[in-house]
Amino acid sequence: MQRMFLRKLTGAGITLLCATLILFVLIRLAPGDPVKLHLGPSSDVALDSTEAYDQRVAELRTQLGLDRSIFAQYTTWMKRLLQLDLGTSIHTGRAVGSELADRLPATLALAVAALAIQLALGLVLGTASALKADRLQDNVIRLACVVLASAPAFVIGLFLLSFFAVSLHVYDISNEARPERLWLPAVTLGAMGAPNLIRIIRANLLAELGQPYVLSALSRGLARKLVVRHALRNALLPVVTVAALSFIGLIGGAVVIESIFSWPGIGKYALDSILLKDYPAIQGYALVVIAMVVAIHLLVDVVYLFLDPRIRRGREGDVHA
Amino acid sequence: MRKIMLALFLIVIITIMGCGNGDNGGNGGKGGKGGKGNNQANNASASAEPSTASAAASEAPSAANASNPQELIVAGPDIAASLDPVQPLTSSYLRLIGAGEALFKVNAEGEVEPELAEGATETDATTWEIKLKEGIRFWSGEPIDADAVIASLERSRKLDVQALPFLDDLRLSKIDDRTIRVQTTREHLPVPLNLSYYQTIIHNAEAKQDSVETMDLSGMYKVVEFVPKQKLVLEANDNYWGEKSGIQRIVFEEIKDEQTRVLSSLSGRSHVVLNVPVTSLAQFGGNPDVELVSAPAANTQTVYLNLRQPQLSDVKVRQALSWGLNREELITLAAEGQGEPVATWLSSNPAYAEARNAVYDKFDRDRAAKLLEEAGWSLGKDGIRYKDGKPLVLRLMTWGGDKALGEALQNQWTQLGVKAEVQHGDYSLIETARESGNWDAVIEAWSTFGDEFALLSGQYSPEGSANYGGYNDERTNELLAELEQASDAKMRHELALRINERVAEQAPVLSLFPRPQITAVSKSLQGLAPHFRQFENVVSAKLAWASN
């Protein structure tokens, strides 16, 4: 067990290292000069000579180490990382670590709330859909799933924002991460992610309900509610993986929703940084997200060991063999 | 299982509970109540005459203000990333919001007025004397004297690359505590105009401008809270030297998404919303609580052509592209009718409005076709023009909100027989293409307000930073040299017009219309006047709540 855990941890470390290297190179291959984007155009009145501007660009590039080779830049970044320093944002001049730390709680709060809504909708509607398979209720739920899964995030987000903020005046459009502003982006993200879970729970539950042990239990007179509960428990195992993947997506990919709701999380920070080619900020964001992805995958593997005795026994068998 | 369900239920309930708390806490309290106030106004106005609706609208914010009086909320697409005025664009945000002041400012008519200065006198062709106002002070109480002003401007010159066009030609020295001598490297340089740009705002060079506690400016509002790229909170400067506004507190928020900004205005949360997209104008129709302030910006939407490309090196082709533009239609399609066509670059500047229809006085597709024929581009059976077997191709690169404009241009040029392609993307792509020379045409909009020589040489002299296409015309260069030497204002104006016209004839760029500049303002607010440089003219002493 310990050996397996150690192996996974080593694999996670290597994944993280490779991912940072690929990312480091890729963002530098993208067009755009971060220094020129930071300084902006030479002025709102064009210059009759660009000499001083070009000189300032060159100075700043040297100051930021961008005139060195990519390998040299990567080595410097890694050295800083080992000291838990993510570097300094070109655009704000602040430490990337503290900028991310300021925004991460907002993103985590949004992701946890959205995941909870997703799971609640998935469990309730997925179960209802399976229990009433091919009946009106099931068809309505499936249709709603298709609509939610196919509508773009910005359409649903703007519609809900317009309805609750402009028509009902029950939502406040600002850019602060206050608890009373969490519900609407969370509901939007939760509702958009729910169809996947609903469909998985429905399919798994239908498969479980067709198993011989269910038929046997029912024929022996066990209450239907109790049988469904047992079947649901067995149907939920894949949901752990889907929920974990969904959580990762919510952390790293809620960019559109964070932007529409002006929710000051790391998604919006990443978007701003990408537009400005703020290398240290993009690298810092990507590192944190990749680290979280790796950690969550690791956690899912461990959780599986505890949730599914078959896997645990299989591993133990391997070790003994 | 039961525990998991219970935990999920609790999280969902806690999240949803936020729904009922929309008007609690901080700014949200204000915003939430503002929203409700406006809701009441909407309900009232639904059954009332327009005048009553207006009255109800003006009462709504006063109800909102009852909980948090005097707080004004301004939403813009960007706010400062730093507090230091020498950092890129920071000074424009600080001026917009009433925190920063320069020696001079430009009014809505384009005239230069004193701000921290009392006045300026041109003593000879290369010397000006600027007298400072008496009793002016920084927020810290430190006097703003000649030494402080010189130190501030020298710091801007040294550290702010965007201040270079305005300060590079000036040499400053102190005459006495209230008088500064400015010597210029060029004769008859309009020094007060140069010192009116936001890049020259006066700050205490002795102070560290990196935190709310240490920064030291002179405006009527002091920064009390700052979250980079998120919000700037300001409070009235009680020791302000000049006329004060009745508004005590301002929150300047960054709301990047343009649709969200529009909704913020419509919901009643934001009192002033900057950069309203033209595509959202219909959403404001019939809203009794918001009015739109629209002043054409003094910058021209311009297509810059790459004269190094073989098909564009021929002046007749470039002229044909200009004659073939129906500018009225472009404004309808790409700017929702917001603006007037301008056929020459300088004419979006109010002082040069007379040149609006110079050279290309009408849309003339026949003339354009004739010019293309003369240049050897004959119409093929497929509707595209060919020369030596090669099609007439024009790849137009657009970015930001110019996609619709690009497509409208594509449509008009296609009707002329030009195989026009639009490539919409990030500005970085345009910069990269320009550096490599692999581009035909791009859309940009530079300011047309300022010193004529600086403006025109920046655009059309061979070394000009905005002369992307490599325009190098002997006659234009001669006229620029004459303009540089001209001492008389009337002569400068005449020469600027001649250069403007010459450039339009040579068509290295195609001028279209002034970039629309729309601000949504709550009717609860009074005193926000249209300005052709609205981005730095929002907060002033004239702002007041309508009910006050």
Q: What does the pLDDT look like over B163-204, one tens digit per residue?
A: 888 998 899 999 999 999 999 998 888 999 999 999 999 999
Integer Cα distance of A146 and A151 in angstroms? 8
Contact state of B35 with A165 under an 8 Å Cβ cutoff: yes
Residue B42 confidence (pLDDT): 33
List per-residue pLDDT tens for chain A, 321 residues long.
677 778 888 888 898 889 888 989 998 888 888 888 888 765 567 766 667 788 888 999 999 999 999 999 999 999 999 998 999 999 888 999 999 999 999 999 999 999 999 999 999 999 999 999 889 999 999 999 999 989 888 899 999 999 999 999 999 999 999 999 999 999 999 999 899 999 999 999 999 888 899 889 888 888 888 888 888 888 887 888 888 888 888 887 688 899 999 999 998 889 889 888 899 999 999 999 888 888 888 888 878 777 777 766 665 555 454
Is B20 a residue whose pLDDT tops 50?
Answer: no
Q: For residues B270-284, give the mean pLDDT.
A: 93
What distance in Å separates residue A83's CA from the closest CA in chain B?
25
Residue A225 confidence (pLDDT): 86
Q: Strand (E) positions, B349-424?
A: 378-379, 385-387, 390-391, 393-398, 419-424
Cα dist from A150 to A120, A146, A186, A259, whole Å: 20, 6, 18, 20
Cα dist from B487 to B28, B110, B299, B420, B536, whole Å: 56, 20, 25, 44, 30
Residue B47 confidence (pLDDT): 31
Contact A197, A119 (CB under 8 A): yes
Q: B172: which residues sit within 8 A by CB, 6+ positions away? A: B149, B150, B153, B154, B180, B181, B182
Which of chain B's residues have a Cβ under 8 Å away from the Cβ of A184? 18-19
Nearest of A113, A89, A112 to residue A101 by alpha carbon: A89
Integer Cα distance of B389 and B377 in angstroms? 10
Contact B450, B193 (CB under 8 A): yes
Integer Cα distance of B172 and B136 in angstroms? 20
What distance in Å separates residue B202's CA from the closest CA in chain A?
18
CATH code for the domain defined by A96-320 = 1.10.3720.10
Contact A129, A141 (CB under 8 A): yes
Q: A277: which residues sit within 8 A by CB, 6+ positions away? A: A27, A30, A32, A33, A34, A37, B428
pTM summary value: 0.83
Contact state of A46 with B263 under an 8 Å Cβ cutoff: no
In chain A, what are the domain boundaries? 35-85, 96-320
In this structure, chain B runs to a length of: 548
Residue B87 confidence (pLDDT): 92
Contact state of B162 with A44 under an 8 Å Cβ cutoff: yes
Q: For residues B63-80, give the mean pLDDT.
A: 73
Residue of B12, B21, B466 with shortest CB distance to A117? B12
Contact B471, B307 (CB under 8 A): yes
Cα dist from B353 to A13, B340, B532, whole Å: 65, 10, 13
Nearest of B32, B61, B544, B46 to residue B287 by alpha carbon: B46
Residue of A161, A181, A229 with shortest CB distance to B263? A161
Cα dist from B12 to A120, A168, A190, A239, A265, whole Å: 8, 21, 10, 18, 20
Task: Count Cβ atoms within 10 A of the Cβ of residue A71 and give its class: 0-12 exposed, 13-18 middle, 19 or more buried.
Answer: exposed
Residue A2 confidence (pLDDT): 73
Q: Which is higher by pLDDT, A29 or B4?
A: A29
Does B487 reach chain A within 8 Å, measured CB to CB? no
Residue of B22, B264, B459 with shortest CB distance to A180? B22
Q: For residues B429-449, give the mean pLDDT.
A: 92
Q: Which is higher by pLDDT, B245 or A170?
A: A170
Cα-Cα end-to-end distance for chain A:
14
Residue of A180, A261, A275 with shortest CB distance to B21? A180
Contact state of A116 with B12 under an 8 Å Cβ cutoff: yes
Does B472 reach chain A within 8 Å, measured CB to CB? no
Q: Which residue of A has its CA nearest to B284?
A: A166
Q: Which residue of B has its CA nearest to A102?
A: B227
Between chain A and chain B, the number of residue pairs with CB atoms below 8 A apart is 224
Residue of A52, A174, A186 with shortest CB distance to B161? A52
Integer Cα distance of A23 and A27 in angstroms? 6
Residue B44 confidence (pLDDT): 31
Buried b (16+ CB within 10 A) or exposed e, B97-116: bbbbbbbbbbeeeeebebbb
Is B337 a residue whose pLDDT tops 70?
Answer: yes
Does B91 reach chain A within 8 Å, measured CB to CB? no
Residue A41 confidence (pLDDT): 65
Tokens of A81: 């990382």
Compute φ and ψ for A42, nearest 5 degrees: -55, -30
Residue of A116, A169, A277 with shortest CB distance to B35? A169
Q: For residues B410-424, give the mean pLDDT.
A: 96
Residue type (1 letter), A138? D
Which of the 8 DSSP states describes residue B85?
T
Residue B162 confidence (pLDDT): 86
For the ranges A7-16, B205-214, B409-418, the lowest mean pLDDT is seen at A7-16
Q: For residues B20-39, give the mean pLDDT.
A: 36
Integer Cα distance of B448 and B456 in angstroms? 9
Residue A255 confidence (pLDDT): 85
Residue B138 confidence (pLDDT): 96
Residue B6 confidence (pLDDT): 57
Is B212 a residue whose pLDDT tops 90?
Answer: yes
Is B46 a residue whose pLDDT tops 60?
Answer: no
ipTM above 0.90, yes or no: no
What distance in Å separates residue A161's CA from the closest CA in chain B?
8
Which of chain B's residues have a Cβ under 8 Å away from the Cβ of A178? 25-26, 28
Of all helices (H) and strands (E), which one includes residue B292?
strand B290-294
Chain-wide mean pLDDT for chain B?
Answer: 87
The most confident of the ranges B148-157, B333-342, B399-408 is B148-157
Compute φ and ψ for B378, nearest 5 degrees: -100, 150
Tokens of B172: 């400053």
Residue B54 confidence (pLDDT): 33
∠ CA B284-B286-B292, nearest 5°, is 45
Neighbours of A62 (CB within 10 A): 12
Integer Cα distance of B391 and A37 in angstroms? 35
Contact state of A176 with B5 under an 8 Å Cβ cutoff: no
Binning pLDDT at 50, 70 and 90, where does residue B99 land? very high
Which of chain A's residues have a Cβ under 8 Å away from the Cβ of B164? 42-43, 47, 52-53
Is B464 a residue whose pLDDT tops 80?
Answer: yes
Q: For residues B380-406, give the mean pLDDT.
A: 94
Q: Which is higher by pLDDT, A303 or B264?
A: B264
